[in-house]
Each structure stands twice: as C-alpha cells, then as structure tokens.
Amino acid sequence: DTAVSQTPKYLVTQMGNDKSIKCEQNLGHDTMYWYKQDSKKFLKIMFSYNNKELIINETVPNRFSPKSPDKAHLNLHINSLELGDSAVYFCASSQDPLPNEQFFGPGTRLTVL
Amino acid sequence: AQSVAQPEDQVNVAEGNPLTVKCTYSVSGNPYLFWYVQYPNRGLQFLLKYITGDNLVKGSYGFEAEFNKSQTSFHLKKPSALVSDSALYFCAVRDKAGGSYIPTFGRGTSLIVHP
C-alpha cells in the first residue's frame, strides 16, 4: 500500500500554462505539506494544511494555490508557469499537533520549457 | 527563527568504517530533531527523531544520532557503513510557531560509501 502518493510523477509543460499536482495519503494523518526541492536539492516548505485548514503559507508567489478537499488530499495548482518553477515537488503528511515525523510522497518532477 | 546547518556538502567513507554526518540547530524553544534519507529519484524517508528523553536515539538501518544540548548538535552516526548507505541525508528541526510545528530542513549532506 502506498502511504503518500502523487500524480503525475513527471510534468513537462510550456511557460505560461496552468497545471495541477495531486496528493493523497492513506495514513489517516491530520496534516499535509507541499515542499519544493530545487536543482541543488535544497528543500523548502511551501504550504501546510491541518484538517483542511491552511496553517503554513511561506513566501510563495500567489500563482501557487493549494487546495485541500478533505484531510486525505492536498492538491497544488500553479498558474502562469515560469522557468523558475522547474523543480521536484514533494507532498508529505504527519500526525500533528505533536511534532511527529513526516511521510513523503515520491515527488513530481516539473519541467517548464 | 529556527535554523539547521549541515556543514558538509559531502562525506566520504570506506565501507565498514564508522560514519558521522553533522547537524547543528538553532531554535527558540525545545528542539524537535529529525533525520531523513533520500535515495536518487525518491522521496525522503524518516530515519530517527529526538523529542525528549535519552540523548542517544536509535533509528532505522542501524543509524543512531546523539543529541547534545550544549553544542546544539544532532549528529547522525553509524558504526559500520555500507555501500547501500550512499544517499542524501537531511537533518530537520520542528519549532513551535503560532500553534504549529513548522519544519525546517538543512541543505543536505551527500554520503558516499566507497567499497
């Protein structure tokens, strides 16, 4: 059983397009996250939702909009894609509010041409 | 603001030798510390954590880490390295801010174990 899954695994698109990445977890966790990992492997948190409520919103362009239809799903929609958006995006989940470990998805490699 | 430093971009060790991957942290409250490993083209996997209690924490795949409050360090160790341990290792801290435990990751250390 896949604990945290993401679709698609690869996404290649043109500048200016709009795209979405989907994430689902079957661990029963309350909190989900989106991270961006750049080409130097630096991992930066973007957003976090707890029970469908946004709790962390780092300095991310407003072209990025997360949506959590329920606590098992957290999607990321990106408008007007730019070259600098090319990265690997990871979804993760954890059982909060205690500071527990996070479980990561396999990642979505986004390439903007 | 919390921060995590991994001073080495890369650590090289021979198979069978002990390994250490360094991590230091800065937090305003109690430190909640984690180590994760990332294999190529994969997501991060949890190795171990320190929340409270014993300073020596044991985790997956024979790894352990020592919490040192006075030196604000949480170094990852393994007594005998395997070639299969070669991967990217991340130290992370979660500090409480506004009711949430916000995670911050170090820049990662690439561990290379030579046969």
- Give the model confidence (pLDDT) of B48-90 as tens digits: 999 888 999 999 999 999 999 999 999 999 999 999 999 999 9
What is the pLDDT, as a whole number, of residue A45? 92
Taking one residue from A and the other from B, the number of pairs with CB-CB distance under 8 angstroms is 62
Closest CA to B24 of B44, B57, B2: B2
Kindly indicate the confidence band of residue B97, based on its pLDDT and cuts at 50, 70 and 90: low
How far the first Cα of chain B sits from its last, in Å, is: 41
Minimum-distance CB partner of A101 among B42, B49, B96? B49
Which three-class secondary structure state does DSSP give residue A83?
A: helix
Residues of A within an 8 Å Cβ radius of B: 4, 33, 40-45, 48, 50, 55-56, 90, 92, 96-107
Minimum-distance CB partner of B43 among A55, A56, A107? A107
Answer yes or no: are the C-beta atoms of A6 and A107 closer than 8 Å: yes
Beta strands in chain A (DSSP E): 4-7, 10-13, 19-25, 31-37, 43-50, 53-57, 64-70, 73-78, 87-94, 103-104, 108-112
Asked whether the predicted pLDDT for residue B98 surpasses 70, the reply is no
Minimum-distance CB partner of A99 among B32, B41, B105? B32
In which residue are the tokens 């894609």 written?
A81
What is the pLDDT, as a whole number, of residue A1? 66
Which three-class secondary structure state does DSSP give residue A63?
A: coil
Question: What residues 51-90 of chain B have any CB closer than 8 A to a CB of chain A?
Answer: 51, 88, 90
> Cα dist. A49→A4, A88, A97, B52, B95 in Å?
15, 20, 12, 26, 17
Q: Which residues of A touch B103 (CB under 8 A)?
A: 33, 45, 102
The tens-digit pLDDT sequence of chain A (113 residues) is 679 999 999 999 999 999 999 999 999 998 999 999 999 999 999 999 988 888 888 878 999 999 999 999 999 999 999 999 999 999 999 987 777 899 999 999 999 99
Taking CB atoms and an 8 Å limit, are A56 and B88 in contact across chains? no
